[in-house]
Amino acid sequence: MKIVLIHSPIDTEKTLGKIKKINPSIPPVGIASLAGYLRENGIETEVIDAYKDELSPEKTVEEFFKHNAEVVGLSVSTPGALIAHKIAKIIKEKNPKTIVVFGGVHPTLMPEETLSDQSVDLVVRMEGEITLLELLQTIKNQKPLEAVKGISYRKNNQYRQNPDREIIKNLDSLPFPAWDLFDLTSYSPPPHWDLGRPFVSISLLRGCPHRCTFCCLPLGKTPRILSPARIVEQIEWLADKFGVKTIMFNPLFPAGKFGFEFCQKMIERGLQKKISWLSEFRADYADLELLKSMRKAGCRRLAFGLESGNQYILDNIKKGITLEQVEKAMEMAKKAKIEVIAYFIIGLPGETKESARQTINFAKKLNPDYAKFNLAVPYPGTEMYAEALKDGLLPSLDWERFTSFSSMTAYEPIYTPKGMITSDLIKMQKQAFKEFYFRPSYILKRLLKLKSKTELINVFNAGRTLLAGLKK
């Protein structure tokens, strides 16, 4: 049996508008991990990155049928759900015998809705490695689907949902992702991630101990972490086999004993000379000695999810940090000579024009190396989504509108919190980008840090594209 795994595309015109020119293409670690596991267990596997190649649904289907596979697996995000369904429909029209499987965050959280489309045969929920392997073996051996945990399907035209599969407790037991199936040199990271190419992501952690109301937990609430030894082994493999220059750790770099042990092993192997890395990090994890150790071990940038410059908003979304902690974390990162990426969200529940203004001012006060100002989006599976539905604050479930950059597209924001009007929300997001990035002091700082003509060109193009989006 053969399967083709597809990284489903999105409609960049609708979802990103003018800023699609700087839309990053990131090697899909989830699909690579699935492919590695399936191959290790005897399943012939190929991949198509329709997202990176910006393939139309028709072109995606054309590429799929070149592989002569019995099964197609699509990894589906919320903004890409409509396009994924279109791909499934075209595949079924061309060959009704093809088995269409959906996986990823959106189908995991919306399995019944996903299967209301007759073009989709099965949904793999949560972690896909073991479930997808068992599913394919079951189909091949013509066994009943009822025995496969973690799937949803139709039987006699009725929706069926099998029990959840147990989480994978030992992440070290999984093989390395099948990066040989991807042309890693063809991917372009966002400007604030670009520390050298090729680059890939490593999923350090599955599950999350935190409970932010805007974040879904498709991989469960119980955190599981790769061992430092296994991570370092993978990094060495990536550097030696694929020439990887940059690693992005996601979703979070753990603090404490884990962090120090990992850094020590990186330095012992001399990998900090081969690899630069960055990671998402929490302000309440910050410790000066740990940050210094991370810097010595090759860490060049950290991305902090700060969300708001208003303490009430932070408490309301259960972020679990204080503005004081944020300021101290920024200071420590600067002392450790680690660049900072700050992520903010405009339009969270409880937001007002005044609190949004506080966020903009806070961002300028912190003065990180990069800042991103997203619009709040109540994604399915989040506490925020449930509350928005209950309060009648979701005018549409057109999944293409679930984008944090709607102020720069043809769409209006999908969500506007009580106490604000949509036009103010759009204005505040644009104002945030303008005030942060087009300060003379910031422009000078970035120019002084440039190390090559290529970096200058990249910065210029990014700035020009951002300006075009802001003028919409």
pLDDT digits (tens, 9 = 90+) for 277-317: 999 999 999 999 999 999 999 999 999 999 999 999 999 99
| 460 is a domain residue | no
Whether 400 and 330 map to the same domain: the answer is yes
Of 237, 231, 230, residue with least CA distance to 274: 237
- Domain membership of residue 220 (yes or no) is yes
The span from the CA of 297 to the CA of 237, in Å, is 17
For residue 462, pLDDT over 90 is answered with no
pLDDT attached to residue 305: 96
In angstroms, rounded to a whole number, what is the distance separating the alpha carbons of residues 249 and 262? 12
**Is residue 211 located within the same domain as residue 360?**
yes
- The answer on 115 and 6 residing in a single domain is yes
Position 458 scores a pLDDT of 67
Please report, for the domain that includes residue 390, its CATH number.
3.20.20.70
**Would residue 181 count as lying in a domain?**
no
> CB–CB of 346/359 below 8 Å?
yes
Same domain, residue pair 297 and 337: yes
Residue 466: is its pLDDT beyond 70? Answer: no
pLDDT of residue 468: 59
Position with higher pLDDT, 219 vs 392: 392
pLDDT > 70: what percent of the chain?
A: 92
User: What is this structure's pTM?
Assistant: 0.93
Residues 55 and 92 in one domain: yes
Statement to judge: residues 276 and 415 lie in one domain: yes
pLDDT at 190: 85
Q: What is the pLDDT of residue 21?
A: 58
The predicted structure's pLDDT at residue 461: 64
User: Within a domain: residue 173?
Assistant: no
Q: Domain residues for 144?
A: 2-161
Domain with 128 in it: what CATH number?
A: 3.40.50.280
222 or 108, higher pLDDT:
108
Within a domain: 49:
yes
467 within domain boundaries:
no
Least confident of 99-103, 216-220, 319-323, 454-458: 454-458
Provide the pLDDT for residue 69: 98
Q: What is the pLDDT of residue 191?
A: 83
Tell me, what's the pLDDT at 232? 98
Of the residues 144, 161, 178, which one is the last residue of a structural domain? 161
Q: Model confidence over 227-250: pLDDT tens digits?
A: 999 999 999 999 999 999 999 998
More confident residue, 396 or 270: 270
Q: What is the pLDDT of residue 457?
A: 64
268 and 402 housed in the same domain: yes
Q: For the residues 95-124, what does the mean pLDDT come to?
A: 97
Q: Cβ-count burial of 440 within 10 angstroms (0-12 exposed, 13-18 middle, 19+ buried)?
A: exposed
Is 178 inside a domain boundary?
no
Same domain membership, residue 153 and residue 59: yes
pLDDT band at 11 (very low <50, low <70, confident <90, very high): confident
Q: Enumerate the β-bridge partners of residue 218.
A: none
Per the CB < 8 A criterion, the answer to whether 8 and 74 are in contact is yes
* Contact assessment for residue 201 and residue 248, using Cβ atoms and an 8 Å cutoff: yes
Question: Which of 50-54, 187-191, 219-223, 442-446 holds the top average pLDDT?
Answer: 50-54
Query: Is the domain of 157 the same as that of 217?
Result: no
Query: How far is 374 from 117, CA to CA, in rounded Å?
Result: 31
167, with CB counted inside 10 A (0-12, 13-18, 19+), is: middle
What is the rounded distance in angstroms from the CA atom of residue 372 to the CA atom of residue 307? 10
Assess whether pLDDT exceeds 90 at residue 19.
no
Domain count, the chain: 2
Tens digit of each residue's pLDDT (9 = 90 or more) over 159-195: 999 999 999 999 999 999 999 999 999 998 888 888 9
Does residue 145 sit in the same domain as residue 235?
Answer: no
pLDDT at 53 (0 to 100): 93
284 lies in some domain: yes
pLDDT in tens, 385-413: 999 999 999 988 889 888 876 556 667 89
Q: Cα angle vertex 306, ends 303, 308, to 5°?
A: 150
| More confident site: 249 or 449 | 249
Indicate if the pLDDT at residue 25 is higher than 90: no
The mean pLDDT value for 64-78 works out to 97
CA 36 – CA 191 distance, rounded (Å): 29
pLDDT of residue 355: 97
Considering the domain architecture, whether residues 213 and 136 belong to the same structural domain is answered as no
Average pLDDT of the residues of the chain? 92
Same structural domain, 130 and 198: no
